[in-house]
Amino acid sequence: MNKSSFSHDHFFRSVFYKPERTAALLRLAAKTSTPLSEFINTVDLSTLQEISESFVTEEDKGTADLAFTVQLKDQKKNAKLLVGIIEEHKSYKDNKIFKQLIRYWHGIMVLKQENIPTVVLIIYNGELEWNPKKEPMFPDYPPYYHQIGLPFICEFIDVGKAFDEEKTEDLDGATIFALLLMKHAFSPEILKKKYYKARDALLSIPKEERTDLIKKTILYLPKIFRQKDREHFMDYVTHQDIYGTPSLYDVLEKEYVDAHKDEWREEGIKEGIKEGIKEGIKEGIEQGALQKAREMAKVLKEQGIPMEAIAKASGLSEEEIKSL
């Protein structure tokens, strides 16, 4: 599993692991999907329950997304018939998706849930058009074999088509934020215009959850947050502060920053001179700590950037910049 799929999958799970958010996603998608509408009319979404530790195999450890059970509606007393739900998030076309899903289904619903009927949701936010439901299980075989089906019902949710960002009254802030970023993840110019809408959605989320979500967002879409908003939204007590070692997030973020900081520094300085260095440098160079601010200010000072502009970009006082 590459770093990109790691960050995308973890971003998706960090929001939709909560049953009420998966329920909201289903209701949203059902507005434009007759099969999903039929499905949610048969179940009581208030009984959604996550299946913990449900995706651990040697081959696929950590790559599946989420699994739930839900009760049927209008059951006879004490019947409690369950339906399984598996959610698999994809941000790219995957011609091996069905083989992967069959392994998940067997490991989760057959071995652990007594082979209950299952609906698999493929949640897609990729750049290219794709609908795996239109593809046969064995496309390389003669047509006779294309009638071989799946042992579960498969539904496809294209986030870009299902999510109407003007109709969000039934969604909480985290769900709005996640769907907004997923919908425009491959359109940076559009996403930039949606920045304030995304930021406003975050403000309704409790700070602890907001901090965790922003960390995963920085891995998913590293340039989305301006530095001043990271400081405003996040708690900067780090894994390093508590345990003395960097977290996986810290390691991946550092690798990304190290690979791009020269490009961002040059880009940021040009933008800063043009617009008074409002955001360019802040978006370019990862700070989050006083030492990082000093290092950036020193570089700008050596390149002859005006003191006032450096102060605006770094947050340091002019006296402190002079002493660098």
pLDDT in tens, 31-83: 999 999 999 999 999 999 998 755 434 344 444 579 999 999 987 766 788 99
Is 90 exceeded by the pLDDT of residue 263? no
**What share of the chain has pLDDT > 90, as a percent?**
28
Q: Retrieve residue 195's tokens.
A: 């920045």
pLDDT at 62: 40
3-state helix, strand, coil in the chain (%, to 5): 50, 10, 35
Distance (Å, rounded) from C-alpha 294 to C-alpha 287?
9
pLDDT at 58: 38
Query: Where does the pLDDT of residue 256 fall: very low under 50, low under 70, confident under 90, or very high at 90 and above?
Result: low
Is 80 exceeded by the pLDDT of residue 160? yes
Distance (Å, rounded) from C-alpha 152 to C-alpha 172?
30
Lowest average pLDDT, out of 64-73, 76-85, 139-148, 278-287, goes to 278-287
pLDDT at 250: 62
- Could you tell me the pTM of the whole model? 0.67
pLDDT at 286: 46
Average of per-residue pLDDT values in the chain: 77
pLDDT at 70: 95
Q: What order do you get walking across the sheet with 66-72 strand by strand?
A: 43-50, 66-72, 82-90, 118-124, 153-158
Q: Retrieve residue 109's tokens.
A: 């619903």
What ranges in 71-172 are assigned the alpha helix state H?
97-105, 159-162
Higher pLDDT, 122 or 57: 122
By C-alpha distance, which of 218, 319, 276 is closest to 10? Answer: 218
Q: What's the whole-number mean pLDDT along residues 207-224?
A: 74
Higher pLDDT, 220 or 288: 220
Q: Retrieve residue 23's tokens.
A: 């329920």
Residue in the structure block whose two tokens are 């995304």:
198
Q: Retrieve residue 292's tokens.
A: 């990082």
Is 60 exceeded by the pLDDT of residue 129? yes
Is 70 exceeded by the pLDDT of residue 100? yes
Q: At what angle are helices 248-275 and 207-220 packed, to 10 degrees? A: 80
CB contact burial 101-112 (16+ within 10 A = b; e otherwise): bbebbebbbeee
